[in-house]
Amino acid sequence: MVKLAVTGTSVNDPGHPDYCPSIFPSNMTAQENCSQRVQRFERAAKRCFTEENGSHPTKKLKQTCMDEDKSKEFTANFDGRGDLEEDLHEGIQPEDSVPRTSIKTPLEMTEREQLYEEISSLRHERDEALSRIASLEKLLTLTALSTSSVEGNDEACKMMTGLSWSVFMCLTTAMSALFPPVKKGSLPLKEQLFVTLLKLRHNLTFEFLAHIKGIPKTTMIDIFWKWIDMLYSKLSFTIAPTDREHIFRILPEVFKEKFPRLTSIVDCCEIFIETPQNLLARAQTYSSYKKHTTMKFFISCNPHGHINFLSKMWGGRASDVMIVRESGFMESTQHMPHDQILADRGFLLHDELATRCSAQLLTPAFTKGHSQMPGIELEGSSKVSSVRIHIERIIGLLKNRYTILKGTLPLRCVKSIKDESMEAAIASGDKIVRVCAALVNLGPSIVFK
């Protein structure tokens, strides 16, 4: 029997004088306390890991934490080798009282220096990479066949498109308003106009343009003809007779002295085309003068160098006189009485122009069959030739600025299958020539310096 000394009752408080623990503690209680302490330790380790890494611990971390000194201490107390009475006096402690095990070890100074050097090296490599990327992007922008490479640069824009940058932007703004918004991922309208003018300016192949822009060849062809149709319909108004009062008011001195009533300088121009397989078409387009299959059109400019009339294209076999008669140039609406028109000696239309519109046609005198020309005819021919040279300059400018007219034009660009099937009144070749002439009119005059 255990005698109670003070109160005579059983007290569970270890600090009380009558506290008398059982000498035969239950093994289940000890096991229970052991398992609770192990669980508290695992929870403490889990909280420590979560605070440091923001994630839940793994089984490996649990095993590592259990191998720490404090885990050995806990297991030793409940392994049957510790003091049982001391365990009972210790009791169950709250979770907050369990010390948290730190799994973070402080870095040595040498490790800190190594990390600092590595970070500095990585930052230096990053800055060099960003600088190289910026320089390569700038180089790519300057060398790419796009509007970004000619932006704000008139010389580069003229070299690429034949227009100055300001005129190109005005044309882009005016034309873009006529198209529906492009789909996401498609070529912007500004770039579509740029590649269209690039094709006219340098006569690049559709395969090359499609490769540069990363689009299919058929898409590139559709873009080109879509813009040719739009430019033809909206820029044709620039090829029209100019007001006579305006012409005479700013007529250059070289014209005032020799031909004060001059309104037009005319000539015919030929463009090489592919040889058709059809024998009739080949016969109609063969030019005995050029010794090649060609298309011919009639062109007229005023004394300022502005193209004011352009006929449809004819086969190279057609004569200059026939083209002028069929073009509508001799209509009374095109001329006023006493207007002066300069032409080559092959335009034998003096009487017809005088009869139909009261205009005066001036041509150089024929030299065939004359060993010596009279002085009056020689002086008159010299005056006409010195001024008529401007139409030759206009034709040269038209072909040199838009080289698609200088090379051999494919038959699909002269008259496409679509034109033949729809019996179009205006062939594809006529649209190309008219668009090129309209674009030349948007530039500065070659007569005024």
182 plus 209 within the same structural domain: yes
442 pLDDT band, cuts 50/70/90, is very high
Which of 180-194, 369-383, 412-426 is least confident?
369-383
424 plus 287 within the same structural domain: yes
222 plus 265 within the same structural domain: no
Residue range 160-186: average pLDDT?
91
Q: Which residue has the higher pLDDT, 247 or 90?
A: 247
386 plus 300 within the same structural domain: yes
Number of domains within the chain? 4
Domain boundary among 213, 236, 259: 236
On whether residue 447 sits in a domain, the answer given is no
Domain boundary among 201, 236, 271: 236
> Which pLDDT does position 231 carry in this prediction?
96
On whether residue 401 sits in a domain, the answer given is yes
**pTM across the whole model:** 0.69
84 pLDDT band, cuts 50/70/90, is very low
351 plus 427 within the same structural domain: yes
What percentage of the chain exceeds 90 in pLDDT? 40
Domain boundary among 115, 143, 171: 143
Give the integer Cα–Cα distance in Å for 238 and 242.
10
Under DSSP, is residue 238 helix (H, G, I), strand (E, B) or coil?
A: helix
98 pLDDT band, cuts 50/70/90, is very low
> Which pLDDT does position 94 carry in this prediction?
46
205 plus 332 within the same structural domain: no
323 plus 433 within the same structural domain: yes
- Which tokens sit at 141? 């922008």
On whether residue 195 sits in a domain, the answer given is yes
Give the integer Cα–Cα distance in Å for 344 and 266.
8
436 plus 306 within the same structural domain: yes
Compute the residue count for the chain: 449
On whether residue 86 sits in a domain, the answer given is yes
Give the integer Cα–Cα distance in Å for 128 and 134.
10
114 plus 192 within the same structural domain: no
> Which pLDDT does position 385 carry in this prediction?
81
On whether residue 148 sits in a domain, the answer given is no
435 plus 361 within the same structural domain: yes
114 plus 179 within the same structural domain: no
Query: CA torsion angle for 314, 320, 321, 323 (degrees, to 10)?
Result: 20
What sign does the dihedral 378-380-381-386 (CA atoms) show? positive
Between 375-401 and 428-441, two packed helices, what is the crossing angle to 10 degrees? 100
End-to-end CA distance of the chain: 135
On whether residue 435 sits in a domain, the answer given is yes
12 plus 125 within the same structural domain: no
Residue range 280-301: average pLDDT?
93
> Which pLDDT does position 284 carry in this prediction?
92
> Which pLDDT does position 206 carry in this prediction?
94
Q: Which domain holds residue 135?
A: 106-143
449 pLDDT band, cuts 50/70/90, is low
Residue 87 has pLDDT above 60, yes or no: no
- Which tokens sit at 342? 């300069």
